[in-house]
Amino acid sequence: MLLKKLRDSLPFAIGVIIVGFMVFAYSASVNKVTDFVIFCIYVLGFDVLYGHMGRISFGHTLYLGTGAYGAAMCAKYLIPDPFLAIAVGVAAGAAIGLLLGPIAVKTKGAAFALINVAFNQIGYFIVLVALASYTGGEDGVSLSFNSYGFVNFSNVHFLFAFCLASLVAVYYLMHRLYGSAFGAMLLGIKENETRVRFLGYNTQAYKLVAFVISTSVSAFAGALFVINYGFANPGFMDPARNVEVIFAALIGGPGTEFGAVVGGTAYMVISNYLAKYITRWEMFLGVALLVIAFGFRKGIMGYVRELVDKRIKAGIITK
Amino acid sequence: MLLNIDAINVHYGSAQVLHDVSINVKERELACIVGRNGAGKTTLLKTIGGFLKPTRGTVTFEGRAISGMRPDKVALLGVKYVFQDKRVFGDLTVRDNMELAAYPIKANVDEAVERLFSISEKMKRLIDSKAKGLSGGERQILLIGRALVGSPKLLLIDEPTEGLAAIVINDIARILMEMKGRLSMIVVEQNLAIVSRMADRIYIMKEGSVLKEITDEAEIRDQAYIESLL
Amino acid sequence: MFEVIAYGLTIGGILYIVSIGFSLTFGSMKIVNFAHGLVYAVGAYALFALLPVAKGNFVIAAILAILASLPVSYVIEKFVIRRLYGKSIDYAIIASYAVLLIGVDLIKWIWGASPVPVSDPVGINASFFTLEIPLYRVIIIILSFLIFIGLSVFFKKSIIGKIVIAGLADREAVLSLGIDIDKYFAIVFMLGSALASLGGILYGPISTVHPYMGFRIVTLCFAVVIVGGMGNLRGTAIASYVLGMVMAVTAWYWGAAADAMIFLVMAVVLIFRPIEL
């Protein structure tokens, strides 16, 4: 039936994303919505670890910031070529993932959350103080990127299109990843790692790969942010801002790509628009997190899924 | 009938580990539960003790339904659990261990310690040592002594002779025989010689169900027969 | 050099006072309690608010501030910790983090985002041989040692202390004796929280009292507990003073790196001693 086809259809999901964001961008603000789109990429990266591997990290801004500073340093000290900057940013993210991953993935639960905090704090210190002469310390660096004909990142429309295309690409990749044997492996590790290990699989390797994917995607988002804003500052790596991505992943519904996009958009809408009406919106965020922790655990997509599945079942029965 | 378990089912998540298990224990009776590893013996004891909740069926103690009751409340009713693995409070002394046992039921610590000494003279010189320094057999004795504080009506003992040397096993068996007739006990045991010697009733478990209940004394004392049923 | 040691012991003392509660909650309930940082901050802010009420008398204001923080920790224990304890560790972490967020914003709302001034209540220096050190810091060091001794006696000799030690090691066995271990863990939680607020009160005058101080102390508590071992009381003490020294020595050479160095130590410890949860 139609509903079932839609639920499982990848093109439908992607179509909704593209159309949704375009409508949003051109009725509100292209610049702002570009931000939203990039944030969704970040949430997708975070959700690899949280929704699919069951590990929550309280220090993920480290990887966002690594991508941002990787791109910024490339632009400042090498060539301000946007594509190269992105490549460098992603590579930096992957490198950090490879470096820290073997340590981090040995742990789980609270230990995993905390060791990421530690790494995050160290990284924050490095960009804020230790390498301040390169990174510009608290003020950060401002940059402009080269343009090549119509490939002009200072053009809001092009930038928006590029970021939206990137989101679609990442979304598609994630979808393929989770549908593959690798994705099944991650789920197995999330449910019962010991059993998977006893089946003979090297869970450490799988976890490490997932970790590196997560850090690379997050770094990708970081690099895009730099191109969008035209600057990089320690705020990208601020440990206090981890709550943003955690909230987004939770409210959207951990474990689904579409949920990550929904959650990312939800958070961005709240922080950009709600802040105008509710001055104490950070408290609102805290209360919302509490509510989620106590009851609303599956997030928006979780409940939408349930509703849709119920409808489908009812439809099959009546047939 | 002191303890009556009627057709309980217990699940770990979605896996069912006990299927329609029913057992009975009379007052001052020693019932043994035997079976291979994974038969569900420990699960059964844990359910009686209140650490697991049956998804179906009832556990009745002294006419009162205790299924799903919190383990500390079950203990206060007079059902004491002696865990497998001889886990004692290692960082506390032997005396401290007894003190903790006496505290919730406001029993007299010195009396409890005296009773421990009467079970085993060895404890006299170990009384102020840290429990983690005790050998396996000594720990088992301490655990039994701890459980006896407050004169409980039913003891649940999980594999008391596991991992112990033959001499020590005899010690433990002697202690259990001395306790017989003063209170009820359900003992999970793999050592069939002991089982044959001391049991008043035997339940044979396999894959989460009770295979057979043996109450005939001749059959109980026939170790070879019990072994053949496993 | 002497100054560095003194500073290290002072920081170590404060870390110990605040971390004990955090370590006990972690060890007994396996919950990373972010809200612990909130009680710490509440202590400091309550001190600030109550000093005028106590007519400038630091000791009275401190006692009042600790009392004021008790209802906060009670509410946290009853409505957040106890509800999520045993059900889901992940969500307990998120919930406690949310509580800290809400609390920090409340503090910002009432007192503003800028730091509030709390001054050294003693103000004079003590002299050891030819060296001088603020007397207040000496008091902190002595106080932390006294608390350490007090807690050691409590856990070794009192029945509640022994129950908690047993419960930290083997919860089921304690239950099987007929003891409602959760009640005792709750008592210990309140004790730990009271100590956290004391830590905030003591630290206020020698540091900045600002809304985000709760976040900072919690991350430092993590480090202490990871290095010293969860629920390990002696380990927490040793780790606190060691890390306090690390901070002091680092601050001597490169002030801004003090916090980061702690995390480096924590990361190194985690590499060589990964914890299973």
Nearest to A280 among C84, C109, C226 (CB): C109
B121 in contact with chain C, both atoms CB, cutoff 8 A: no
Question: Whose CA is closest to A118, among A105, A104, A132?
Answer: A104
Question: Whose CA is closest to A116, among A246, A5, A303?
Answer: A246
Distance of CA C149 to the CA centre of its chain: 16
Q: C102, A243: Cβ pair inside 8 Å?
A: no
Higher pLDDT residue, A255 or B101? B101
* Shortest CA distance from C85: residue in chain A: A294
Q: What is the reported pLDDT for C135? A: 84
For residue C277, name the pLDDT band (cuts at 50, 70, 90): very low
| pLDDT tens-place string over residues A117-166 | 889 988 998 888 888 777 788 888 888 877 776 677 778 888 888 999 99
Residue C77 in this model has a pLDDT that exceeds 90: no
Q: A122, C263: Cβ pair inside 8 Å?
A: yes
Backbone dihedral angles phi then psi of residue B136, each to the nearest 5 degrees: -55, -45
Q: B80, C173: Cβ pair inside 8 Å?
A: no
Q: C106, A287: Cβ pair inside 8 Å?
A: no
The span from the CA of A264 to the CA of A267, in Å, is 5
Q: What is the reported pLDDT for A27? A: 81
Q: C169, B90: Cβ pair inside 8 Å?
A: yes
Distance of CA A180 to the CA centre of its chain: 20
> Which has the minimum average pLDDT: A71-75, A100-104, B215-219, C124-128?
C124-128
Average pLDDT of every residue of chain A: 85
Contact list in B for residue C166 (CB cut-off 8 A) is 89, 92, 100
Nearest to B72 among C166, C170, C180 (CB): C180
Q: What is the reported pLDDT for B153? A: 93
Query: Interhelix angle for C36-50 vs C89-111, to 10°?
Result: 20
- Which burial class, exposed, middle or buried, applies to B222 when counting CB atoms under 10 A from its CB (0-12, 13-18, 19+)? middle
C222 in contact with chain A, both atoms CB, cutoff 8 A: yes
| pLDDT tens-place string over residues C25-72 | 888 877 888 899 999 999 999 998 888 888 878 888 889 999 999 999
| pLDDT tens-place string over residues A256-277 | 888 899 999 989 988 888 777 7
- Which burial class, exposed, middle or buried, applies to A52 when counting CB atoms under 10 A from its CB (0-12, 13-18, 19+)? buried
Nearest to C162 among B81, B83, B92 (CB): B92
- Which burial class, exposed, middle or buried, applies to A103 when counting CB atoms under 10 A from its CB (0-12, 13-18, 19+)? middle
For residue C81, name the pLDDT band (cuts at 50, 70, 90): confident
Tokens of residue A47, six digits = 């959700």
Q: C176, B75: Cβ pair inside 8 Å?
A: yes
Sign of CA dihedral A253, A259, A265, A266: negative
Q: What is the reported pLDDT for A222? A: 94
| pLDDT tens-place string over residues C206-243 | 888 888 888 888 889 988 988 888 767 888 999 999 99
> Which has the minimum average pLDDT: B59-73, B184-198, B214-228?
B214-228
b vs e for C67-90, b when ≥16 Cβ sit within 10 Å of the residue's Cβ?
A: ebbeebbeebbeebbeebbeeebb
B140 in contact with chain C, both atoms CB, cutoff 8 A: no
Sign of CA dihedral A95, A96, A99, A102: negative
Q: Which of A289, A296, A297 to mutate to test the interface with C (most CBs of C within 10 A)?
A: A289
Q: C166, B92: Cβ pair inside 8 Å?
A: yes
Q: A110, C101: Cβ pair inside 8 Å?
A: no
Nearest to C162 among B49, B100, B146 (CB): B100
C111 in contact with chain A, both atoms CB, cutoff 8 A: no
Q: What is the reported pLDDT for C153? A: 92
> Which has the minimum average pLDDT: A239-248, B176-185, C164-173, C252-261?
C252-261
- β-pairing, B3-12 vs B56-61, is antiparallel
CA atoms within 13 A on the CB side of A65: 27
C54-93 residues touching A, CB cutoff 8 A: 80, 83-84, 89-93
Q: What is the reported pLDDT for A106? A: 80
The span from the CA of C74 to the CA of A2, in Å, is 53
A283 in contact with chain C, both atoms CB, cutoff 8 A: yes
Contact list in C for residue B71 (CB cut-off 8 A) is 172, 175-176
The length of chain A, given as a count of residues = 319
Amino acid at A319: K
Smallest CA–CA distance, residue C257 to chain B, in Å, is 39
Q: C89, A292: Cβ pair inside 8 Å?
A: no
B76 in contact with chain C, both atoms CB, cutoff 8 A: yes
Q: What is the reported pLDDT for A152? A: 76
Q: C99, A243: Cβ pair inside 8 Å?
A: no
Which parts of chain A have pLDDT scores under 50? none
Q: C165, B76: Cβ pair inside 8 Å?
A: no
Higher pLDDT residue, C171 or C129? C171
> What SS3 state is found at B6?
strand
> What SS3 state is found at B168?
helix
Contact list in B for residue C232 (CB cut-off 8 A) is none
Q: What percent of chain C has pLDDT over 90?
A: 37
Q: C256, A250: Cβ pair inside 8 Å?
A: no
Contact list in A for residue C250 (CB cut-off 8 A) is none
Judging contact as 3 or more Cβ pairs under 8 Å, the answer for C and A is yes
Q: What is the reported pLDDT for A213? A: 94
Subunits adjacent to chain C (3 or more Cβ pairs under 8 Å)? A, B
The length of chain C, given as a count of residues = 277
Query: Which residues, in sequence order, are CB contacts of A176 under 8 Å at separation 6+?
Result: none
Phi/psi-derived region of residue C76, left when phi > 0, alpha when psi is between -120 and 50, beta in every other case:
alpha
| pLDDT tens-place string over residues B26-43 | 989 999 999 988 888 999
Q: B83, C177: Cβ pair inside 8 Å?
A: no
The span from the CA of A146 to the CA of B114, in Å, is 89
C263 in contact with chain A, both atoms CB, cutoff 8 A: yes
Q: What is the reported pLDDT for A158? A: 86
